[in-house]
Amino acid sequence: MLSRSRSVLAVLFSVCTFSAVASADLTHLSEGKFKIYGAARPKIGPQLKFDGKGSVKGEQRGDKIVFTADLKNKLDMGERTKHAKEDFECDKHPDAKLSVEKAAIKMPEDQKVSEGEVKGDFTLHGVTKSVKVTYKAKRMGSDIAVKGNFSFKYTDFGMKPICRFGKTICVEPDVRVTVEDVKFREK
């Protein structure tokens, strides 16, 4: 009977501990980075890369975790940065945001990793659409590092097709984004 009582207590403790972790508030600890992967297919010649990078900040806002990328000031697409900022209309729409429900993310136990897929709301060019986000969260004490990735078509966000040189080179609408090393601390 004592053994059974201990088992029940252990299960209750585990459930309460997980609930506390899932409901604990998070504070932003450090910025992570994002990478954009795209491709342009010229009418003649090989496929060209249309890749970029920048920093991203994560923060808890109510029951959501919001990742914000400052496209206007921190987008780096090499020699294409100036044109990319014009194409993204960064003066009118300076940020890209990904928002996910905090409760949908399985928070790992200490020294463990959790992975999954959640629905997120991605805002680009002033338009918000739903995206599937694959994530991985790793806990080290009260610190949690998050990484994830998702894909979208930039033309679904009210952007015109990105073309150069008399439309002989156009960026394909399919874009993949990765977010890495965004760190949070439980309060």
pLDDT for 149 equals 95
Of the candidates 126, 143, 146, the residue with the CA atom closest to the CA atom of residue 134: 146
Instruction: Band the pLDDT of 13: cuts 50, 70, 90.
Output: very low
Q: Give the whole-angstrom CA distance, residue 103 versus residue 167.
A: 45
Dist CA 179 CA 170 (whole Å): 25
Identify the three-state secondary structure at position 16: helix
Which tokens sit at 88? 């993204």
Cβ-proximal residues to 93 (8 Å cutoff; 6+ apart), any chain = 71, 124, 125, 126
Say what the pLDDT of residue 44 is: 67
pLDDT (average), residues 83-88: 87
Taking CA 41 as the corner, what is the angle to CA 155 and CA 169, rounded to the nearest 5 degrees? 80
When pLDDT is averaged across residues 57-77 and rounded to a whole number, the result is 91
CB atoms within 10 A of CB 47: 10
How is the chain split into domains, by residue range?
A: 26-186
In 3-state terms the chain splits into helix, strand, coil percentages (rounded to 5) of 25, 50, 25
pLDDT at position 94 over 80? yes
Would the pLDDT of 148 be above 90?
yes
Predicted pLDDT at 131:
97
pTM over 0.85? The answer is no
User: pLDDT class for 5, splitting at 50, 70, 90?
Assistant: very low
**Among 84, 57, 75, which Cα is nearest to 179's?**
57
Q: Taking the mean position of all CA atoms in its chain, how far away is CA 53?
A: 13
173 vs 123, higher pLDDT: 123
Range with the largest mean pLDDT of 38-47, 93-102, 162-171 = 93-102
**CB of 131 within 8 A of CB of 122?**
yes
State the pLDDT at residue 4: 33
- With a cut of 70, say whether residue 30 has pLDDT above it: no
**Is 121 in contact with 151 (CB distance < 8 Å)?**
no
138 pLDDT tier (thresholds 50, 70, 90): very high
Overall fold of domain 26-186: Lipocalin (2.40.128)
